[in-house]
Amino acid sequence: MRVVLAAIAAAWFAAAGATGSIQPGFEDITAKAGVSSAHHNRTFENPYAHIMAGYTALGASASAADYDGDGFDDLFVTDSSVDGRNHLYHNNGNLTFTDVAAQAGIDSGNDRANASADSLWFDFDNDGRPDLLVVRFGQNELYRNLGGGRFENVTKAAGLERYLNAITAVAFDYDHDGFVDLFVGAYFQPVNLFNPQTPRFFPESFETANNGGGVLAFHNNGNGTFTDVTEKIGLKTSGWTLDLGHADANNDGWDDLYVACDFGTDRFFVNNGNGTFSDITEKAIGIDTKKGMNVDWGDFDNDGLLDIYVTNITDDYMKEGNFLWKNNGNLTFTDVSRETNTYDTGWGWGAKFFDYDNDGWLDLYVTNGWVSAGSESYVPDVFEMIIKPGIDLADARNWPPMGTKSLSGYQKKRLFHNERGQAFTDQAPKYGVDSIRDGRGIAIADFDNDGRLDMFVANANGQPFLYHNTMPGGGHWAEFALRGVKSNALGVGAQVRVTAGGGTQLRFVDGGNGFAGQSSMRLHVGLGGAATIDKVEVRWPSGVKQTLTGVPVDRLTKIVEDSSR
């Protein structure tokens, strides 16, 4: 099986390599859309500044949601410099955007004690309006969406005022009480990064570090407050969390959790269905020593089971390889990244499944690159440190300065086209989306509601990209916006199975999966040549199941949970 897949992958890869000039498919409209404000890395003024700036070259994130309910997905984009302003790009409906963050009161995500790292739209109060969590090195901020383009900082009232050094967050209803709960991944321990009182706050190991910030779980009490239930529900960890991804791995109706960790083992937690999780890492994915960066779930092979894509580091000096975890259906996964040609994407960061050409198979866009600076490489410096006998890696003073050196920089992004679930071919050069900027987060959304998914890519210390999908000759499609009644209002966790053209595709509403990027909560299905949909089956987090027939193609359909069942 593996040999056959590898041969197929190699053949397709060779064929793809034969293509030449850029073809129509994605148009860079960043500037004319008005979303070209650059991200700036944080710089530090402390004894560890020589390494901190390079080490925290993060924080370029983008999150898509229709915050004002006007039918067009908007964008929240973070900066990280001390005086950098975050952006709320309101979608004007004509592929232009207006930054309204200042008017909305949510632009001030950075100061001397906090640096924005990520953001998350989630409707914690079930009013149907996405609220906003700004994830920060420092303290997170929760903004309640009041409607009319106004937001209110409710961090303290919600019980979320806490020093965390967070880098990622997802929200889903783990206990099916009808409210989405909040899961935060923290990179560093809760030390003050801007004025550390100890030099020992760096990872103690490159492969088994357990002195990171771990995962924190906040139960939504349904009254505007949250309670830290991390230990109670079995999620206490101490890894260097970089990303979280939730989905129902075994189709039992309860969403499970994948934790991607830098400097050590990723973790897989199965939801026991009783308000607790169990760590089944060893059985599910085995113990790895890699640098997990990204978690995205999607059924790439259309077998009705959600698979997982995790990026790691692959370069001349370190060949970890990514994971494409094929779901075996029994809470175990098999890595098929080599066979599918998704193994090597350089120093990987955010990656997202989406069907860019509406052929009915989930494709994959992958960002990469750590620090693109001068011509000298930082690699020999860091390895010289590593091989020193007895080196205390946790001590930031032992880390060599990066200066203007590069580390896995200038790497080309990958747009993997899914070849019917068997392999992927890189089409990024073909469509001109192979930028060498230091990519971080990806937000996928159909910003112009034309049925073709667009991409916003946030780059560290650089301008982002908004790629408008202009793919010619695409297939039919369908999009769905879900509204929960018994379930949480935005339907996070709901699974939708669309049967058309002799096949069934599975999509689900995710609550912010993917490193530094949140895609639209609307579900998109490419239908290829199928001009009709046989049926749409929805399984809500509440357990309610609905089957719809006569659903039209080539348009957005709103589905409201049937609360009578």
Partner 1 sequence: MNQRGRAIVAAAIMVVAQAVGAQTAGRAFRPVIATMAFPADDADLGRLEAALTSAPDDLKAGNDYRMAVIQAKAYDRAIAFFQKLVTANPAAANAHLNYGFAYVDKIPDAGAITQVILANNALGEFTKSIEIKPSWIGLYTRGNSYLFWPRIFNRTHLGIDDLNEALKMQKAVPKQPYHVRVYIALGDGYWKIDDLTAAANTWREGLAQFPGNAQLQARLSRQGDDLKTLIEAGYDPAKRVDTSLADLWTRR
Binding site for partner 1 (CB under 8 A): 206-207, 288-290, 313, 316-320, 377, 379-380, 383, 386-387
Beta carbon nearer to partner 1, 268 or 378: 378
Distance of closest approach, residue 312 Cβ to partner 1, in angstroms: 9
Closest CB to partner 1 among residues 381, 554 = 381
Spatial neighbors of 43 by CB under 8 A, at least 6 apart, are: 49, 53, 81, 82
Residues 6+ apart with CB under 8 A from 286: none
Q: How many other C-beta atoms can be found within 10 angstroms of the C-beta atom of residue 15?
A: 11
| Residue 217: φ, ψ to 5° | -115, 125
Q: Is the CB of 41 or the CB of 341 nearer to partner 1? A: 341
Output 86 or 342, the one with its CB closest to partner 1.
342
Cβ proximity to partner 1: between 147 and 380 the closer is: 380
Please state the closest distance from residue 387 (CB atom) to partner 1, in A.
5
**Interatomic CA distance for residues 181 and 177, integer angstroms:** 10
SS3 readout for 509-520: CCCCCCCCEECC
- The least CB distance from residue 304 to partner 1, in Å, is 32
State in angstroms the smallest separation of the CB of 17 from partner 1: 10
Closest CB 405 distance from partner 1, rounded Å: 12
CB of 368 to partner 1, least distance (A): 16
d(CA 404, CA 127): 48
Cα 514 to Cα 54, 167, 176, 508, 558, distances in angstroms: 22, 11, 23, 14, 25
345 versus 518: smaller Cβ distance to partner 1: 345
Nearer to partner 1, 11 or 386 (CB): 386
For the CB of residue 259, give the shortest distance to partner 1 in the complex, in Å.
Answer: 18
Nearer to partner 1, 159 or 410 (CB): 410
* CA gap 14, 36 in Å, rounded: 35
Query: Contact, 358 vs 528, CB < 8 A?
Result: yes
Q: Minimum Å distance from CB 205 to partner 1?
A: 8
CB of 16 to partner 1, least distance (A): 14
- Closer CB to partner 1, residue 157 or residue 287? 287
Query: Is the CB of 4 or the CB of 385 nearer to partner 1?
Result: 385
Would you say the C-alpha torsion 505, 507, 513, 519 has a positive or negative sign?
positive
> Are the beta carbons of 526 and 358 closer than 8 angstroms?
yes
CA 442/CA 425 separation, integer angstroms: 19
| Nearer CB in complex with partner 1: 288/301 | 288
In whole angstroms, how far apart are CA 378 and each of 123, 207, 344, 386, 426? 43, 19, 20, 13, 28
Q: How many CA atoms lie within 13 A of 516 on its CB side?
A: 35
Residue among 15, 27, 1, 132 nearest 468 (CA): 27
Angstrom distance (rounded) from CA 216 to CA 184: 5
- Residue 266 beta carbon to partner 1: minimum distance, rounded to whole angstroms: 13
Least distance (Å) between residue 93 CB and partner 1? 47
d(CA 450, CA 446): 7
Structure tokens at 73: 């997905």
Whole-angstrom distance, CA of residue 243 vs CA of residue 245: 7
Tokens of 259: 């934790």
